[in-house]
Amino acid sequence: MHEQTKRTGKVYLVGAGPGDPGLITLRGVQCLHRAEVVLYDYLVNPAILEHAPPEAELVCLGSHRCGRVLSQDEINAAMVAAAKAGRTVVRLKGGDPDIFARRAEETEALGRAGIDFETVPGVTAALAAAGYAGIPITHSQHASALALITGHERHDKQQSSLNYAALAGFPGTLIFYMGITSAAKWSEMLIRHGRSPETPTMIVRRCTWNDQETIRCTLGTVGRKIAEHGVRPPAIIVVGEVVGLAPQASWFAAKRLFGKRVLVTRPRAQARALVDRLEEMGALVSIQPAIRIGPPPNWGEIDAALDRLDQYDWLAFSSSNGVQYLLDRLEQKHGDLRRLGRVRLAAIGPGTAEELARYRLRADFVPDEYRAEALAEVLAAEPVATRFLLARASRGREVLAERLTAAGHTVEQVVVYSSSDVEQADAEVLEAIEAGSIDWVTVTSSSIARSLVRLFGERLGRVKLASISPVTSAVLRELGYPPAAEAAPYTMEALAEAIDRSQQSASARQPSSDLLAQGAPANVAQGQGADDESHVHGDALLAEGDPQRQVQAEQQQQQHGDRDPEEAEGFGHGGSTTLDG
């Protein structure tokens, strides 16, 4: 017999965009869905990695956070080796693969090795700056052309490829990538060749991230402003009359939670709705599950209860997890939800009722107040000896069962899913809390409250806690960490709104003299109008002027940029959204 020829894999070179995970293309997401290996630039937003299958191998290509920066030859070799092993590879690149990202060198290596590949474009930082900083980079009256320029050419080039005379006379907008440490040089060259030193200029740092920062200046002052503010990469610099047309504060920076970082502690599978709402409000959201949800230790008691469903009058669910695990088991064991027959369904809140609706079932009762006490109050009024089946977690309060039993009803409880604490927090989350870069932590159950205290200990005192309900708030107070906000009603939407209200209230109480120190636009804090050197950013200030630190930082970025300049300049690596599992 002939030995079967081993299948060769395929490589997808995918542009991840500048930072906002919503800017990756649909085709990029499709490629990630089928990925077996993801080789990603460290400035790619970790939220984008969630599109890859759980079993995919995720390989960071190096940074101060995740190891040595790989050379371009090493990256090429890794792609080829994985594809030759028959694996589907996504090479995930910041921005667009063809804008200062050395895509050509990678596809040439793949071509020489006979590897099939596809290039998937992405949103580059220049275009993102137009939308997120409000700069109309082309304009019918001011800019009929656009030039994208690297401020850091390869160190092994004999001479610069940039024609500064042509760039100085260019009839449109100039956008420099990787131009922070070289700004004094290229701005001087443009002025020397005839570009006005008064040309409006804007530095956009961490474009599309929720701590995006902008500095308005002129071509003649850009180098000085970078030094004064200690600006560090990643950033792009926009030069042209169109900069003067940008609003003082963009729609993006005006989002209510812009500049705030929120840690969501729900299990990952349940976190999406809350994450989406917080991100829509402008927050940078990280996920660190405090508990794990899984199947029950055994199905024996559940199967026995399902076999006698016709003996119960009510089936009560205290969470969406209970709905999912019980009904999935019912379908698996009996193949049809009609087995529920005449049993009436009770749900503790709208989230649980919505989960029932996914199975085409409607809850017969949902209390106005979403907690066990309210559910028990109504169900306890049923005729004496009503039979209840309660689908519950492996741990939790006994309020519903106790009150129904006290009212003379027959109550049977079955554990339909397990809930256990996460033993260790992600190191990056711990570092962020220690550094004070996380503003809020959400607490959506009593078990999560207790787990968080075990995970973080006294560090919890460094953040504000947002509680889902009075019951959870009481547990937090008992543990010594009172919440700063509480949802009303007890829903994820209301939890996000509670954080927003608390933030707005705190801002209203803050003395105006403190605004500049907290990151308010300079012209707002000082009561000035727009000028040509205003600094507008979110909650985090730019690094204080430390020229040596700034140069060292960009040298590292430029080393990275030697293989992928756009990744090194146009984007950021804010809070991870894939922090546990």
Distance between CA atoms of 303 and 290, rounded to whole angstroms?
29
Same-domain status, 476 and 555: no
Does residue 334 carry a pLDDT above 70? yes
* Sheet containing strand 410-421, strands side by side: 291-294, 410-421, 387-393, 314-317, 344-347
- The verdict on 283 and 366 lying in the same domain is no
Residue that is written with structure tokens 């840690």 in the block = 263
Condensed to tens digits (0 to 9), the pLDDT of residues 515-533 reads 333 333 333 333 333 333 4
- The tens digit of pLDDT for each residue in 426-479 reads 888 999 999 999 999 999 999 999 999 999 999 999 999 999 999 899 999 999
Report pLDDT for 547: 40
Q: What is the number of structural domains in the chain?
A: 4
More confident residue, 5 or 561: 5
Kindly state whether residue 5 falls inside one of the protein's structural domains: no
Separation CA 419–CA 421 (nearest Å): 7
- The pLDDT of residue 399 is 87
Do 279 and 306 fall into the same domain?
no
Same domain, 301 and 412: yes
Query: What is the per-residue pLDDT for 579?
Result: 26
233 within 8 A of 151, measured Cβ to Cβ: no
Cα–Cα distance between 337 and 82 in angstroms, integer? 45
pLDDT tens digits, residue range 379-413?
988 888 899 999 999 987 788 899 999 999 999 99
Q: What gap in Å lies between CA 170 and CA 199, rounded to an integer?
A: 13
Measure the CA–CA gap between 347 and 345, rounded to whole angstroms.
Answer: 7
Distance CA 340, CA 368 (A): 25
Question: What pLDDT was estimated at residue 398?
Answer: 87
- Give the model confidence (pLDDT) of 44-90 as tens digits: 998 899 999 999 999 998 765 566 778 889 999 999 999 999 999 99
CATH number of the domain that residue 332 is part of: 3.40.50.10090
**Is there a contact between 177 and 128 (Cβ–Cβ < 8 Å)?**
no
> Per the domain annotation, does 113 fall within a domain?
yes
* Residue type present at position 496: A
End position of a domain, from candidates 123, 142, 166: 123
User: Could you tell me if residue 454 is inside a domain?
Assistant: yes
The CB density around residue 396, as the number of other CB atoms within 10 Å, is 16
Helix, strand, or coil (residue 366)? coil
pLDDT class for 155, splitting at 50, 70, 90?
low
**Are residue 302 and residue 411 in the same domain, yes or no?**
yes
Structure tokens at 354: 């919505």
Q: Is the same domain home to 475 and 539?
A: no
Q: Same structural domain for residues 218 and 303? A: no
Task: Name the domain boundary from 421, 441, 459.
Answer: 421
Q: Is residue 45 part of a domain?
A: yes
Last residue of a domain, one of 88, 106, 123: 123
Cβ neighbour number for residue 49 with a 10 Å cutoff? 22
Mean pLDDT across 131-137: 94
Domain that holds residue 335: 294-421
CA dihedral (184, 190, 195, 199) positive or negative? negative
Q: Give the C-alpha separation, 95 to 154, whole Å.
A: 19
pLDDT of residue 565: 30
How far is Cα 488 from Cα 533, in angstroms, rounded to an integer?
A: 43
Q: Is residue 517 part of a domain?
A: no
pLDDT value at residue 374: 85
CATH number at residue 106: 3.40.1010.10
In this prediction, residue 452 carries a pLDDT of: 96
Residue of 39, 15, 30 whose CA lies nearest to 124 = 15
Confidence tier at 293 by pLDDT (50, 70, 90)? very high
| 153 and 200 assigned to the same domain | yes
Summarize the confidence of residues 194-219 as an average pLDDT. 95
Which amino acid type is present at position 258? Answer: F
Residue-wise DSSP of 197-214: TT-EEEEEESTTSTT-EE
The model's pLDDT over 228-243, given as tens digits with 9 standing for 90+, comes to 999 998 999 999 999 9
pLDDT in the model for residue 157: 62
Task: Note the maximum CA span of the chain.
Answer: 93
